[in-house]
Amino acid sequence: MLCRHRGPDGGLRLIQPLICRQSHSGAPDNYNVPIVIPYRAVEIKVPASVAKAEPSPFAETHAWPDPSVPEPGDHRRAITNPFYQFTMPDGYENMGDSKLGKSAIIAETMKRKDGTHIHLPYDACKATTRWAKVGSHSEPQEFWITGTQNNEAIVRDLRDSNPFKVPGNLRASLSDGFYRVVTIDKFEDFGTKRVQGDRPDGDTKEKDYASAENLHDFIHGVCGGVQADYKDGANVTRLLGHMSHVPVAAFDPIFWVHHCNVDRMVAIWEVLHSGDSDNWFDGTDARDQDSGNWAIAEYHRDLPSDPLRPFHKDEEGHYWNSNDIRETAPLGYTYPGLEKWKYETLKAYINARYNSAAKAAVKARLTADPGESHESSRKPNLLQLQLATSDPTLEDDIIGFNDYIVNVVYNRFALGGHPYSIHIFVGKVPDRLPYTFDDPEGSLVGQVYTFSSPADQQGTDAEVGCANCRAQEAAEVESSGTVVLTNALITRWKNQLVHTPRQRLSDGDEGEEVPRVLASMEPQDVVPFLRTNFRWRVTSLEGLVPPEQLPSLRVSVAVGKADHYADQTKLSRFYDYRGANDVTRDRPQGAGPDDGLYPPEQDY
């Protein structure tokens, strides 16, 4: 990862991390896995000018030469790749070693309703795991304890998958989700998955159920991967990747790369909304209420001028505040594409790199291939967009398209705080667990992962565990997430894929034709199609979760509009969403008008 850092002379300079600079699998700064991560060992280059220098407290800020240009006297040496996995240092047996004292990881045991138990033996780990791929290993638990890395599975789940080999995408696009999140207007909507409740008086903006936190949780789930089971009689030991489990996620080095991406996502939002005080937080939103800590009073309504203790910005002891850091440059670093001299072109950069919704809409209008599977589709074709928007009656060269999303509202503590996933399908649900994006059915479009843990994860003492989580659990705070259906529906429509519909909803539907193929992207065709082909399932550490065990979950489908522009300096708009209650009403966990996810006048 390249970044800019403020050196001892106060100037911004480029630094090279202590891993070799390599290309990346896909876009260099999105959520694909950097190529360096899967290697156990890497070479580092120590330029002679640096190798011979006296040790300095500013050694890490020295300007390193371009690593692609060899220098006379360069020295290279192999090191264990710190990004591959974390391994317990010498002197410690495992993560639960008693020498770690209160920092030792404790094994977890969950009692199931049938009296059997599920064990999560993270205390026995000697190294971190990504996607527990134990296969037919004779001693799977021992294999997992020493750490197993399945980075290929992570890349597969982050990229668009298509088991049917038809042009287009059958699942929600991660780049589309990223694009929609950074273009959310209101900061509270962007920053938190907590459901906002009632807006302040006079605020008529639509609710946003997507968020940066929602996307953050999804990545944690993908990097941890699905579990492998090791059975001991009736009891089950679940072998999970560390990233998907809150108490141990930070052990995996990919955690830090992931959170750099989250920081970059926030930085992009700040630049896109710089100077926009209307959408900055101001203490009027219920989500601005603070739970309190040693520096902030409980129930305080956070303001952007509040001091961010204990972070001083000068020798006089003044504290940074949120207004001071609406861009990263004052803190001495930036990200590729976010240099100050590139602010004017940021919108075009975001459109070119992430706006897959616009690409799919253009292709749906002009070709039989609506997807992103070909190299030519990676960059927006301005000529195609101008041709598609050449209707003289349209303003600003807009291509309008119907947009379809799934919004879910859930209580992340509903299963005692243990994490669970809400899987969204269009088509037949696979017969076996776990549900994965490479399943031959090709019906899994997306999922929402709660990335939660019991509030008292580390004990029952009032001083141990997460006090803020306990307060949210007691208040039954609701969270939300979004899965975008549009691109996946375009592929189904253009390729006329045949689906296996579920049973009719009621006896009153007996004379109704059950659609097996999506006839168009118009709501009058999409809503009936989804009514019989849209499904969802919930899974947890215990397996499939029956609807009666999670009555607080509400799943809805919304029909909206998307405007895409030929002018690449304009961001696409997604708006005017109405609840398609016919798709989900009268189904267990399905939302209806009485759930209030959309105003009554916005019922489709």
Q: Please give the full DSSP string across 53-120, using - where no structure is assigned.
A: SPP-TTGGGS-PPPTTS--TT-EEEEEE-TTT--BPPTT--STT-GGGGGGS---EEEE-TTS-EEEE
pLDDT tens-place string over residues 319-331: 999 999 999 988 9
**Rounded Cα–Cα distance for residues 170 and 178 (Å):** 18
pLDDT of residue 52: 47
**Rounded Cα–Cα distance for residues 401 and 561 (Å):** 6
The closest of 347, 355, 408, 410 to 377, measured between CA atoms, is 355
Strands 117-120 and 235-239: parallel
Question: Is pLDDT larger for residue 118 or for residue 378?
Answer: 118
Asked whether 224 and 241 are in contact (CB, 8 A), the reply is yes
498 burial via Cβ count (<10 Å: 0-12, 13-18, 19+): exposed
pLDDT band at 215 (very low <50, low <70, confident <90, very high): very high
pLDDT band at 403 (very low <50, low <70, confident <90, very high): very high
pLDDT of residue 481: 97
Q: Left if phi > 0, otherwise alpha if psi is -120 to 50, otherwise beta: which for 174?
A: alpha
pLDDT tens-place string over residues 156-202: 888 766 666 788 888 998 999 999 999 999 999 999 999 976 555 44
Quote the pTM value.
0.84
Side-chain half-sphere exposure of 16, counting CA atoms within 13 A = 16
Average pLDDT over residues 120-129: 95
Sign of the torsion formed by the C-alpha atoms of 113, 117, 123 and 126? negative
| pLDDT > 90: percent of the chain | 50
**Rounded Cα–Cα distance for residues 427 and 405 (Å):** 16
450 burial via Cβ count (<10 Å: 0-12, 13-18, 19+): buried
Q: Which helix (H) or strand (E) holds 215?
A: helix 212-224
Question: Is pLDDT larger for residue 69 or for residue 7?
Answer: 69
Q: Where are the beta strands (DSSP E) in 388-460?
A: 398-410, 420-426, 444-449
The closest of 172, 251, 242, 181 to 216, measured between CA atoms, is 181
Would you give the distance in Å from CA 601 to the centre of its chain?
31
pLDDT of residue 569: 93
Q: How far is CA 230 from CA 76, 134, 135, 419, in A?
A: 43, 10, 11, 20
* Lookup: tokens for 516: 């097996």
**Rounded Cα–Cα distance for residues 308 and 44 (Å):** 37
pLDDT tens-place string over residues 511-561: 567 889 999 999 999 999 999 999 999 999 999 999 999 999 999 999 999
**To the nearest whole number, what is the mean pLDDT of the chain?**
81
396 burial via Cβ count (<10 Å: 0-12, 13-18, 19+): exposed
| pLDDT > 70: percent of the chain | 76
